[in-house]
Structures are given as C-alpha cells and as structure tokens.
Amino acid sequence: MSSSSGGAQEALARHSRIALWAGLALLLAAPFIGLYPVFMMKALCYAIFACAFNLLLGFTGLLSFGHAAYLGAAAYATGWLVRSAHLPPELGVLVGTAVAALCGLVIGSIAIRRQGIYFAMITLAMAQMLYFVFLQAPFTGGEDGLQGVPRGKLFGVIPLESDTVLYYVVLAVFVAAFLFIIRIVHSPYGQVLKAIRENEPRAISLGYDVDRYKLLAFVLSTAIAGLAGSMKTLVLGFATLTDAHWSLSGEVVLMTLLGGLGTFAGPVIGAFTIIGLQDFLSDRVGSWINVIIGAIFIVCVVAFRKGFIGELLAWQKRRGAGK
Amino acid sequence: MEIFGIPIQAFLGQLLLGLVNGSFYAMLSLGLAVIFGLLGIVNFAHGALYMIGAYVAFVALDRFGINYWFALILSPLVVGALGVLIERTLLKRLYKIDPIYGLLLTFGLALIFEGVFRYWFDVSGQSYPVPELLEGATNLGFMVLPNYRAWVVVASLTVCLGTWFLIERTRLGAYLRAGTENPALVQAFGVNVPVMVMLTYGAGAGLAALAGVLAAPVIQVTPLMGSNLIIVVFAVVVIGGMGSILGSILTGLALGLIEGLTKVFYPEASSIVVFVIMAIVLMIRPAGLFGKEK
C-alpha cells in the first residue's frame, strides 16, 4: 500500500510542479498574448489578497470575515503617502504593508480571545469600525476616496507609468508573496498552525502557546493582504471605501472557497475567476452582479466545498487509488 | 432647561431614538441567538430578512392598500414562510459540517436578496407613513414624546418579553431548550426535531420581519438597511454572549441607549461606539456579559 500511495503522491507532486511552471509561463507571457495588463495586474493583486486570506482560513482554520479592512488600510496609507507625502512607490508599499500589519496586530489580539464563529463576527465588526473611521477621517477623502495616486519611479530609476513594466513588478511581488506563503506553510511553524486547525485543544495540551501562533498567523496574513492593497493602489491609482467594505471581505472568502480552500493555487484561480467574472459582467448585468456572486456562494457552500483545485486533487487521488 | 449644556428636549429625544434603535438590536439579536442555539448557524441573512419585512409592509400599502396593522401580521408570516423555505432547501444540508459554512451560505443569501431588491426598488429608499392612530406627539411636560416612537419601544419590548416567556416558561420552550442541548435525545423522546428546527428558523425570520415593519415608519426603507444593521447586531451579540435570552434583550437596549448618548455628546463616534465597547468587553470578559465561559 505504501509503495502505491507513494507513487501516486510522487505523480501528484510532479503534476503540480508542471502545472505551477505552466501557470508561471502563462503569467510571464500574458502581455504578449493580448491579455489586458491592467486587468491582469488587478487580478494578481486580488490573488495575493486571496492567498493571504487562505493562509488564515485554509492553513490555520481561522475565518476572518473582515479582511478587506487590512487591504483598505494599506491602500489608503500607500495612496496618501505617495500622493500627498510624495514618497517613492517602494516606500509607500512598505509602509502600507506595515500599517495593515499593525491593524492586524491590534484587531487580531482582540479577536483571538474567542474561537470559531465568534472570531468571524468579531473580525467583521472590527473591520466595520475601521470602515467608519475611513469614512470620517480627514485624510481619506470621504466618499470620493483618494484619486490620482501617481505610480512614480521604482527605486528612483524605473518609471512605472508603462503598464508592461508595472505588470512585471506586480508579477514579481505576487510570486514572492506566493512563495513566502508556501514557505510558511511548510515550515515547522506552519505545521503547528495545521495542528491548531485540526485540533486546538490537543495543540494546547502538547504545550503550544496557541494564541501566540494564531496571532502571528493573523499578523502575517493581514500584512500580505496589506501588500495586495498597496499594490492595487499603485496599479489603479486610487483608494476608495470599496476597498474596505464588507462585501470585499465576503468576496475574498468566495475566491478562496471557489478555487480550493487550503491549496496553494486555489485562491489564485478563484481570484482570477471572480475578478474576470466581475469585469466581464459589470457592464452587461448591472446590479445583478451581486445576485450572481451570492448564487455562486450558495452553490459553493452546498455542493462544491473543495473548490476547483480541491476537486481536482480528489479526482487524482481517486484515479490513483483505482489503478 | 438644560443638561450638561444640551437642551433637555434634544437630549431626551436622542435618548428615545437610542432606545428605539436598541429595541431593534434587541429583537434581531434575540432571533439570532435562538437560531444559533438550535441550528448552530449564525444567520447573516437576518438583516436581509428584516429589510424584506419592511418592504413587504411597503408593497402591501403601496400596491394593495393593506394598512400598517395588517402588515404587522402579514409581513412576519410571509418572511417566516420564506425562512421555512430557506431552511428546508438549503440550511438543512449544513447541520453536520463546520458552522462557518452556515455563515457563508446565509451571506450569499443576503447578497442575493439585497441585489434583487436593489433591482426592484433602487438604492434611494422609500418612506413609509406613520399609521394615523399613532401620528403626532404627546406633551409630557418635560419633553414632547412622539407617539410612534413610544409605540415601537413598547411593542418590541412586549414581543421580546413574550419570546422570553415562550422559551423559558412553556413546554414548547422546554423542548426547544432541550433540543439546543441534545437534539438526538429529544428526538428519541418523540419530539419531531427537524420540524421544530424548521419552525424555529421561520419564527426567527418572522421576528426579523416584525422588526422591519416596526422600523419602516421611523427610517428610510432601503435595500441596504439590513446589512448596515446586521454587523452592529453581530457586535451586540458578541457583547451580550448568545447564552441568555434576557441578556440579549438587555444588551440590545443598553447599547442603543449608549449609541444615543454618544450622538448627543460626541456625534463623530456614534457609528463606532458599539464596536469600541465590543473590544473592551472582549478584553475584560471574553465570553460576553451574559455568556458562559466554556
């Protein structure tokens, strides 16, 4: 049994490596095969966001239902720093990410005091509080948001005005974030997170300070979500209240669930699917877009909980077992 | 007459408005707590059901000339039936899996309802007239009391206490509480638990709709009125802890009052005060004011 399942696992690992390289090749070639770069950049930013969210829900078992707040906090911070304080883009992104991590630290240390469904409600409520802060604060531009954020020059030399150049910068950031998350999950620390997800009381009884592990996971996840928000501001040139709204917090759950919870590539595929769908449908169906998103949500929860990648893996496993 | 430099009429007016909001928090968090107790589902669609309740009253009056008093009965029945339908077709598939999925499914439902009502009614909102019987205001000497607002507080308190009585003091309530503790055993004693679960969700939905009808004349009826409220109600539920019925009622009212007071003294903070209180309560008493530590 061990030899056959080992062989199946090897085949699976080989297949996933091939798929990952193929995906990367596709992303590298994207500007030359006619894929609209601004759309691709936007989708990549949301893919980073979904991967960050997946680190929490998929690999730690914590449902943060207010993740848009961190994306929004970083988006506003970067927008303000680059536009009004004339900081170079790399510093703007760095500080934006740090701001999101700080928000994550404060909110996370409050939210981890409860488990399960309460954790979700607390993170949602705290995110709503941040939303109201952004609505009223003097530096966020209220209902209009921050418009006309310049892209500037990376490290003072590489002008980012060209979509193609910025695309490769965003792609590099995406690949770095993606690899960083794989590294976290496969580290001894990631194994402890998995243990907490599977059985928290057991992890406590084994002597792990579960709260500290969870808080660090929360801060890492919010920092990466912030990175996504900062990059998004640079790409699109604005930061608005939509970035921090609860509906985006819901959408990132859907991206992750649709692509495959607890898989590496799943959130990326989910993000591209949802952003692509919104882009395609926005001028065709108007306000029905929310109805469609809601319907996909329900179908996912009732009948498709493994998501694309999860179903694919399960199918591979069945095929391997059938041999 | 003034209190802390604020005219007493304005002060008491805000306090009353806070109490009105608090009554809605109480009714909604009560429904959430009962549904969570028996179904283990945090019903994100609760806000949407409250919104639909208000719209049923609006459409009933606008298209069919059905008045407020009939709407108070009709709307909870319609929305309760919708709740039963939701429970039978969707929620019952989720009882054996992680409660997180229940939250996500009802979130999807809320998006659908909101989207459909936005298509039908636009986001701008409709106003619903105060019923003739409750128009005007009564002068109490120290303040002028708008009759309708007083009625909302009295009516929702009566409904809340009635629900409390039903759950804590009747045989049906005893079945319900037993079902919360151990559904398999209650089923073995001959109680039809699936039907009880279905009716509980329907009743929770009806309660939300009733709150919606009561709210219709005080606020603008808009498709977004539910989602704006439900997140605050979640915070209320976290503060109170979902363990106790009376606890949810008291917490809801108290937070409404505190919100009203904040509006008087520091209006900028009025939209976040409930969340700040939630954070403080979590630091001092993580299980919530009336929750039991597990």
| Domain limits for position B229 | 2-123+133-284
Residue A204: which residues within 8 A CB-CB, separation 6 or more? A210
Q: Which residues of chain A have pLDDT under 50?
A: 1-3
- Residues A168 and A159: their CA atoms lie apart, in Å, by 12
Neighbours of B64 (CB within 10 A): 11
Determine the Cα–Cα distance for residues B208 and B56; give it in Å rounded to an integer.
12
CA distance A167 to A147: 21
Residues of chain B where predicted confidence (pLDDT) is lower than 70: 1-5, 292-294
Closest CA to B275 of A290, A47, A132, A10: A132
Neighboring chain B residues of A255 at a CB cutoff of 8 Å: none
Residues of B in contact with A125 (CB under 8 A): 231-232, 234-235, 238, 274-275, 278
Q: Are A56 and A193 in contact (CB under 8 A)?
A: no
Give A110's contacts in chain B (Cβ within 8 Å): 279, 282-283
Question: Which of helix, strand or coil describes residue A138?
Answer: coil
One DSSP character per residue, B225-283 reads HHHHHHHHHHHHHHHH-TT-HHHHHHHHHHHHHHHHHHHHH-GGGTTTHHHHHHHHHHH
For A67-78, b/e burial (b = at least 16 CB within 10 A) is: bbbbbbbbbbbb
Cβ pair A126:B115 closer than 8 A? no
The predicted structure's pLDDT at residue B292: 67
Q: Which of A258, A274, A291 to mutate to test the interface with B (most CBs of B within 10 A)?
A: A291
Inter-chain residue contact B99 with A63, CB threshold 8 Å: no
Considering only CB atoms, which chain A residues are within 8 Å of B238? 114, 118, 121-122, 125
Task: Report the alpha-carbon distance of residue A3 to residue A158 in Å, rounded.
Answer: 52
CB atoms A120 and B114 under 8 Å: no
Overall size of chain A counted in residues: 323
Q: What is the identity of the amino acid at A23?
A: G
Q: What letter does residue A172 receive in the DSSP assignment?
A: H
Greatest alpha-carbon span in chain B: 65
Domain boundary assignment for chain A = 35-245
Contacts with B45 from chain A: Cβ below 8 Å? none
> How many other C-beta atoms lie within 10 A of the C-beta of residue B289?
17
Which residues of chain B does A120 touch, with a Cβ-Cβ cutoff of 8 Å? 42, 100, 103
Closest chain A residue to B120, measured at CA: A287
Per the listing, tokens 């059938």 go with: A322
Query: Closest approach of chain A CAs to the CA of B135, in angstroms?
Result: 34
Out of A65, A121, A136, closest to residue B238 by CB: A121
Contacts with A119 from chain B: Cβ below 8 Å: none
> B109 vs A298: CB contact, 8 Å cut-off?
yes
Q: Does B246 touch chain A (CB under 8 A)?
A: no
User: Which chain B residue lies closest to A111 (C-alpha atoms)?
Assistant: B282
- Residue B121's nearest CA partner among B55, B71, B64 is B55
Residue of A nearest to B95 (CA): A302
Tell me which DSSP letter residue B131 carries. P
Where does A46-190 show beta strands of DSSP type E? 153-154, 158-159
Tell me which chain A residue has its CA closest to the CA of residue B41. A117
Q: What is the pLDDT of residue B106?
A: 94
Interchain proximity B108–A294, CB inside 8 Å: yes
Size of interface A-B (CB pairs under 8 A): 117
Q: Tell me if chain A has a CB within 8 Å of the CB of B94.
A: yes
Which chain A residues are within 8 Å of B118, Cβ to Cβ? 287, 290
* Phi, psi (rounded to 5 degrees) for A146: -95, 115
C-beta atoms of B111 and A287 within 8 A: no
- With both helix axes pointing from N to C terminus, report the angle between B99-121 and B225-240 in degrees, rounded to the nearest 10: 150
Is the separation of the CB atoms in B236 and B252 below 8 Å?
yes
State the CATH number of the domain containing residue B72. 1.10.3470
Q: How far is A155 from chain B (nearest CA, A)?
A: 39
| CB-count exposure of residue B269 (10 Å: 0-12, 13-18, 19+) | middle
pTM: 0.91
A54-57: list long-range contacts, CB under 8 Å, 24+ apart: A54/A181, A54/A256, A54/A261, A54/A262, A54/A263, A54/A266, A54/A267, A55/A181, A55/A184, A55/A185, A55/A217, A55/A220, A55/A221, A55/A224, A56/A217, A56/A218, A56/A221, A57/A253, A57/A256, A57/A261, A57/A262
B272 within a domain of the structure (yes/no): yes
Chain B CB contacts of A246 below 8 Å? 227, 231
Answer whether B226's CB lies under 8 Å from B50's CB: yes
Report yes or no: A208 and A196 within 8 Å, Cβ to Cβ. yes
Residue B167 maps to a domain: yes
B125 touches chain A (CB under 8 A): no
Chain B residues within an 8 Å CB radius of A131: none
Contact A297 B231 (CB under 8 A): no
Structure confidence at residue B294 (pLDDT): 47
SS3 A170: helix
Number of domains in chain B: 1
Residue in A65, A122, A294 closest to B112 by CB: A294
Integer-rounded Cα Rg, in Å, for chain A is 20
> Tokens 């629900």 appear where?
B163
Nearest CA in chain A to B44: A121
ipTM reported for the complex, 2 dp:
0.90
Tell me the C-alpha distance between A108 and A123, whole Å.
Answer: 8
Residue type, B231: I
Residue B116 touches chain A, beta carbons under 8 Å: yes
CB contact under 8 A, A302 and B105: yes
Is residue B284 packed enough to be buried (19+ CB in 10 Å), middle (13-18) or exposed (0-12)?
exposed
Tell which of B104, B259, B289 to mutate to test the A interface (max A CBs under 10 Å): B104
What pLDDT does residue A15 have?
A: 82
Structure tokens belonging to residue A229: 């928000």
Nearest Cα residue in chain A from B122? A287
Q: Is residue B293 part of a domain?
A: no
CA-to-CA separations, B57 to A144, B47, B109, B155, in angstroms, rounded: 34, 16, 21, 17
Residues of A engaging B, defined by a Cβ cutoff of 8 Å: 63, 65, 110-111, 113-114, 116-118, 120-122, 124-126, 128-129, 132-133, 135-136, 246-247, 250, 253, 257, 286-291, 293-298, 300-302, 305
Residues of A in contact with B271 (CB under 8 A): 132, 135-136
